[in-house]
Each structure stands twice: as structure tokens, then as C-alpha cells.
Structure 1
Amino acid sequence: MTEWSGDMQGTGRYAEVNGVNLYYETRGTGSPLILLHGGLGSGEMFGPILPTLAERHQVIAVDLQGHGRTADIDRPLEPEFMADDVAALIDHLGLDRPDVVGYSLGGGVALRVAARYPSKIGRIVAASAYIRSDAVYPEIRGQQGQMNAAAAEFMQGTPMYELYQRVAPRPEDFPRLLDKIGASMAKDFDLTEEISGLQVPTLIVAGDADMAPPGHFVEIFALLDGGQRDGGWMGENRPKGGHALAILPGCTHYNLFLSPLFAAATLAFLDERQG
């Protein structure tokens, strides 16, 4: 099992936004990069790649509602609300169009930030984030439907459980988190229209053995004008919005966030500023 923890060695603070006491840690210097973790995790998930990202950016690793060091509130656990929280955090910190990088749940949040608040951010990286609920493999969809408080007992000893018990303000809330995230995953959704209209340069990242087939992420890229023609000798025919796609070899949904390839692809996209 992957160890979902790491010594981020950053400066941790809380910001009161939208009724959530949102925890974030800051590390490094340079242009700001907001980093969003996956479901049942926290910013600590990125421990192994944080030093690489922080060499070139001021990384602001956020613990989303009900995750990590951010306590839950009486509000559904929905990516749309979390996107509103990220936008409010940008205002709270006075950031000038930071980039937003998210994995899995965090990737879905990043996409929604881009769709809802394009003027507040620079570029986004959405990793292992599918845009239709029916895109994931059927067996995974079935497992998601079984996520609820009753699963807490069976998750003891997993990286998700151990991390939550170590850092959460109320460790006893883990079953509540499972209930709420299970209810969220059970909902059907389709972000096709929102993604088609993105005005923010976006990198879509997936593992070659991810939770959804590679073709789904190619489909997302196509919505962003990608894969429609030869790019040209000088890249003059690349997607008009500066979008890009990366399918990472040897990566699954469960280890992509730790991969040096993910860090390298992210930095290349954010720092080259092409398109």
C-alpha cells in the first residue's frame, strides 16, 4: 500500500472562507501554485513530489472540506462548493492568477474552478479527473456505490484511514466523511458543456492504466480542440487555447500523484507558457 503522508515542511495556516476553516500549507517561492489532493486524502499525499514543485513555485497545498486538517461543515461534499472555496481562498490570500493543480477529486475541483472563475487563475492541471460519471470502469462504479460509513471498519490500516486519524481535527468523523463522499460519487454528472467552453489553458493528465480508459482523457482533449490536426513544425496548429494532454506510462489512479512524471509534466506545462 502507498504511504499517504510526507513531511511537507511548509507553513500551515487556516483561512475562514464560505464557512469553512480551510487549512493550507505554503512551501517554496516563485509564482503561486494551488495544489489540490484526491478524495480521502490531504495535501500530504504529494509529499514525494512537493520539493520538485516548490523549487520553481510557491506551492499552496490545500486540505479541502472535510479532508486532512480541514474539519467538515454542514454542507454537502460537492466539487462545486470546493471550487467556490478555492476561489475564495485566492481572494483571501490576494493571489494574482495562481495556477491550480489537482489530482482526482482535486482535479475535478480544478476543472470547476476554471469553468466558474476563469479570471481568477492562470493555468490548470487536472490529473486523473473524469468529466462524466459513466466514464469509469463498471467495476469501479460499483465500488463507489458501496462507499459509506459502514466501510470505515474495513478501511482501518489503509493509507486514507491512517492519514485521517493522524491529522484530522475530529478523527471520529471518518465514517461521516465516507458517507458524504459516497453520496457525492453516487450522483450522475456530465461536465462536457463546461469543459468545451474553458477559457483557461488546461493540461489533462492521466495514467495509462487509470480509473477511466485512456480514450476518455483523449475525448476531454478533443473538447479542448486537441487531436484535431497536425500541430505544425512550430506548434502553430496546436489547440487554440494552449491546452495539452499527457498520458503517463506505468501509472495507475493510485500512484500517479506520487510520480516524478506527474511533477515533470506539470512543471513543463506551467512554466513553458506556450499557446
Structure 2
Amino acid sequence: MPLDAATVHDLRTDHGPVRYYRAGESGPAVVLLHGAMLDTAPLTWGRTVAALADSHRVFAPDLPRHGGSRPWHGPTDQEGLEAVLAELLDHWELSRASLVGLSLGGGIAAGFAARRPERVDRLVLVAPGGMEGRRIAQGTTYLLLHTPFLLRLATVLLARGPRLLRATLAAALVEGERNPDFAEIAALAEEEARAKHEAGELALDDWQIRSYGWRRMRTDLRPLLPRITAPTLVVRGDADTAVPLSAVEEAARLIPGAELLRIPRAGHLLPRDRPEEFHAALRAFL
């Protein structure tokens, strides 16, 4: 079962509930922020929480409109999600914490660290989102993202088509269905797909939709990166097809003193593709 080392908690906020997982009784605080679409804290961090719990106090929230953090009636753009993170830190009575973010979570962590440097001890960005000015097929993607019918159709297809969902997940993992965690990952993604459909949500996050402009990305965090003061590790799997290597390299260059780590034979879901290598690097840095 995922997150066996953690306890489950629900925080009631003005905008809706936020579910989070806690583990570890002592040590520095670290917050794990997952990615977009069908991701949840158990899906990305199912192994990571236990890997850190012996030396850290670990907090892993389901972001709004993911997992147990629904229904949600507040903003879920970059600024809105940074505000949720600040509220969580206050609730946990943490003046400072280390942040580890994957994809969407990496974008939230980077923006938060730039705008609230006094609250971040150390920063780990795993294939972070929001680091590009323009993406391939920018205009076409913009049109697709602003066609609600297609997004709702995608929600239905993912919720009612487990074969399609499993094939998509297999393609995202380097070892595909041979990944030892594949059954667990697929079950969690299928559960999330059904929850999105039942809640009437779109397949993609508001953060993803609002990040795209017609000609350029509206969420481009690069101008903020030089303001980050926390020691930073930027990580990318060499088989990642979601975030270009050039974007990750530029992010590492713009953050003062940042280290760049490339992990072979790992895709976008790096903590599940290569958990041993990832966790070794994470423990050494934190």
C-alpha cells in the first residue's frame, strides 16, 4: 500500500479541503509537491516519504483538485497554489522548510522560493514546470487547452478507458509495465481519473491551462529564479519527454549556485522510475 509510513490528515480552508500525509518524528521539515493531471501525493511520493521519514519530518499534500483535496473553489494558478503552500506551512507551524517539487510541484516550489526566500531552507526541483518562454506547437496547444469540450472528453476517456490510461502510464515509465510499482501507480491513476470525472473537473489543471498564451507562455518563472537564495538541486531524468533538457539546464544556470543532476534511464516520473538513485541524491542534498 502507498505511504504506509505516513498518517493522513485533512485541513479545512476557506476554499476547500486539503489532504496531506505526514511521516517522521524529528529532523528538518521537508515538503513534497507532486505534479499535474492525474498525479497525487501517493502516486509520486509513495516511496519517497518512507525514504526520508527516518531523518526528516515529511509533509506531502494532495494539491487542490487532486486526491483528497476536493471539492476546491479557490484559484489554482501559480499564485493561488503558492498561497496554498504558505497556508500549509502556517498550519504545520513551520517558519521554514525544504521544498521538493516535481513538474507542476517544481514550478510552485520555485516561485515560492523566489518570492518567499525566508521560508525555504533547501530546494529540489525535479523536471520543474514553468521554465520556458515558448513550447513546441505553442499556438496549437493554446487552442486545444481553450476548447473545454475536448478537455472534458479527455476526462471521460481517461475515467472510462483503463486500457488507454494504462498504456499512457506505461509509455511514461522507462520500464513500462515491468516497473515494479506499475500496478500501484495504475490503480492510483485510475482512482484519480474517476474522481476527476465524478467531480466534473477538466483533465488538465488550471495551472496548465492558464500557463499557455497564444504566442508565449504566461507562466514563465525564469525572471524570478535569480532571486532564489536557498541551496538548490535541479534534477532531470535523461529519458524525460515532458520537460526539455535545455529548460532544466537554463533553470539551473539562473538559480545562484544551483547544482544540476541528470539521472540515466529515468523519465518524467523520476521518483518511480529510479527511486534508489533519486532517494540517494535527495538524502545527500537535504
In the superposition, the TM-score normalised over structure 1's length comes to 0.79
What residue number does 1:153 align with?
A: 156
State the Cα distance separating 1:37 from its structure 2 match. Answer: 0.8
Which of 28, 33, 37 is 1:31 aligned to? 28
Rounded to whole Å, the distance in 2 between the matches of 1:246 and 1:49 is 18
SS class of match (1:209): coil
Residue in structure 2 matched with residue 85 of structure 1 by the alignment? 84
Q: What is the correspondence of 1:1-275 to structure 2 with a 5 Å cutoff?
A: 6-17=2-13, 19-29=15-25, 30-39=27-36, 40-45=38-43, 46-134=45-133, 136-138=135-137, 142=141, 145=144, 148-156=151-159, 157=162, 158=165, 159=186, 161-164=189-192, 168=195, 172-173=198-199, 175-176=201-202, 178=204, 180=206, 183-187=209-213, 188=217, 189-210=219-240, 211-225=242-256, 239=257, 243-253=258-268, 255-258=269-272, 259-260=274-275, 261-270=277-286
**Is the Cα–Cα contact under 8 Å of residues 5 and 50 in structure 2 kept in the other structure?**
no
**Structure 1 unaligned spans of 5+:** 226-238, 271-275
RMSD: 2.7
C-alpha distance in 1, partners of 2:131/2:28? 32
Q: Is the 8 A contact 1:205 1:246 kept in 2?
A: yes
Distance 1:174 1:124, change over 3 A: farther
Aligned residue identity for 2:230 = V
> For 2:191 and 2:142, how far apart are their aligned partners in 1?
21
Asked if structure 2 preserves the Cα contact closer than 8 Å seen for 1:97 and 1:119, the reply is: yes
Contact 2:131 2:248 in 1 (8 A): no
How far did 1:42 drift?
A: 1.0
Unpaired stretches in structure 2, ≥5 consecutive residues: 166-185
Matched-pair identity in %: 29
Whole-angstrom distance in 2 between the partners of 1:145 and 1:263: 36
Quote the offset at 1:28 in angstroms.
2.0
For residues 74-125 of structure 1, the C-alpha deviation after alignment (integer angstroms, 9 at most, x for no partner) is 3342132111111111111111411111111111111111012211221111
Q: How many residues align?
A: 246
Q: Do the aligned residues in 1 keep the contact of 2:142 with 2:212 (CA within 8 Å)? A: no
More helix by share: 2
TM-score by length of 2: 0.76
Correspondence for 2:173: none
Q: 1:63 to 1:217 in 2, by over 3 A?
A: same
Amino acid in the other structure paired with 1:257: P
Offset, 1:185: 4.4
Once the two structures are superposed, what CA deviation does each residue of 1:48-77 show, in whole Å capped at 9, x if it has no partner? 333212222111110111111001423342
